[in-house]
Amino acid sequence: MIYSVSIRSTPRLKAFHVIAAVCFGAVASASQAQTTYPTKPITVIVPFTPAGATDVVTRMLTDRLTKEAGWNFVVDNRPGAGGNIGLQTVARSTPDGYVLGMGQTANIAINPSLYKKMPYDALKDLVPVALVAEQPLVLAVKADSPYRSVADLVNAAKASPGKISMASAGTGTVGHLAGELFARRAGFTMLHVPYKGAAQGLTDLIGGQTDYMFPTPQAALTLLKGNKIRILAVTSAKRIQLLPDVPTIAESGYQGFEAVDWKALVAPAGTPPAIIKRLHDETGKALGKPEMIAKLLAEGSKPMSGTPEQAAQLFKNEQVRWGKVIRDGQIKLD
């Protein structure tokens, strides 16, 4: 004998069915995004000019991702306002994983305290995808400068307060703030001379118009090889492979000093977690390739790692750190 059982639908049972359907749909949608993404080229916005440090690293990464994952990329340079214009475009884009941005120390951590009004909130309107690379700065003087060490420069600056001049690529840049941080730590005052870019600042440095500068290794390397400048120290916690004989500022008597320009891939807030994970995983694989590591080391950088959550914490910590430097130095845009 066969018995049939009829289950009468109730409001509670209907609600269970609805919840189950929603959950199943969400899992299916996430799974589909994970397996089918991407179906078209991904645009990565670089908020600075071509051939700069951020642009170079971005193109290294997208080239490697194309080789490893088979994805297609379009690198779109949108410079202006210290990187704000480019990241504003990212923040306002559709959060579907097809528009990303290369954030870095300035437009994520410095600008919120430097600009009176920001066109986006770096902690709310953007989500980290992956930490990419970090690059220190170098303390450079012209080749025939009387300063042959960090101690020489500090002693001269203390002997003539406010007269030793520091060039920078512009007010509020990482090089400028690293210089402010160093001067405060070493206990001297200097004359800040901002330029519209590192190239102009380095030109006047080797011409003797200024006394020292904190450019990136990439910007300084050609001049170093041409015996136009001398590098006294690097701002990283450890020496870098590109300049193994150059001491760190920490080694030069200022223990714990560190100032680096880091870069991180970001997406608009609301981008599906499955897509963030796919991007993060593939980026990590690309950064771990020996060829990629070698290229980064050759230009004075090194790959970074960490979860998107760790990247978000870095963003918060760096905003606090650089915000204090800006407030203590009463730094304002002209």
* Per-residue pLDDT reduced to its tens digit, 62-80: 999 999 999 999 999 999 8
| CA-based nearest residue to 315, from 323, 173, 168, 119 | 323
> Contact at 8 Å (CB) between 240 and 139?
no
Coil/strand/helix, residue 220: helix
Contacts of 203 (CB under 8 A, 6+ apart): none
Residue 23: pLDDT band with limits 50, 70, 90: very low
The reported pLDDT for the residue numbered 4 is 40
Mean pLDDT of 164-172: 94
Mean residue pLDDT across the chain: 90
Residue 13: pLDDT band with limits 50, 70, 90: very low
Contacts of 117 (CB under 8 A, 6+ apart): none
Residue 120: pLDDT band with limits 50, 70, 90: very high
Domain spanning 138-234, CATH architecture: 3-Layer(aba) Sandwich (3.40)
The reported pLDDT for the residue numbered 35 is 63
Coil/strand/helix, residue 255: coil
The reported pLDDT for the residue numbered 49 is 86
Partners of residue 101 on adjacent β-strands: 45, 266
Burial label for 173, CB within 10 Å (0-12, 13-18, 19+), is buried
Cα separations in angstroms, 276 against 3, 130, 160, 268: 51, 9, 52, 10
The reported pLDDT for the residue numbered 334 is 63
Mean pLDDT of 113-142: 96
Residue 218: pLDDT band with limits 50, 70, 90: confident
Residue with tokens 């300084």, as numbered in its chain: 220
Spell out the domain ranges in the chain: 40-135+261-328, 138-234
Strands 302-303 and 191-194: unpaired
| pTM metric for this prediction | 0.84
* Fold: same for 40-135+261-328 and 138-234: yes
DSSP state of 19: H
Residue 190: pLDDT band with limits 50, 70, 90: very high
Mean pLDDT of 284-298: 95
Residue with tokens 């589909």, as numbered in its chain: 32
Does the pLDDT at position 9 exceed 60? no
Residue 7: pLDDT band with limits 50, 70, 90: very low
Mean pLDDT of 290-317: 95
The two structure tokens encoding residue 252? 């030069």
Mean pLDDT of 308-332: 94
Residue 14: pLDDT band with limits 50, 70, 90: very low
> Contact at 8 Å (CB) between 140 and 232?
yes
The reported pLDDT for the residue numbered 132 is 97
Chain CA centroid to CA 65, Å: 19
First to last CA, the chain: 91
For residue 76, the surrounding DSSP H or E stretch is strand 73-77
Residue 159 to residue 147: CA distance in whole angstroms:
13
Q: Write the class of the CATH domain 40-135+261-328.
A: alpha beta
Most confident of 22-31, 77-86, 132-141: 132-141
The two structure tokens encoding residue 197? 């870019």
The reported pLDDT for the residue numbered 36 is 87
What is the three-state SS of 91-150?
HCCCCCCCEEEEEEHHHHHHHHHHCCCCCCCCCCCEEEEEEEEEEECEEEEECCCCCCCH
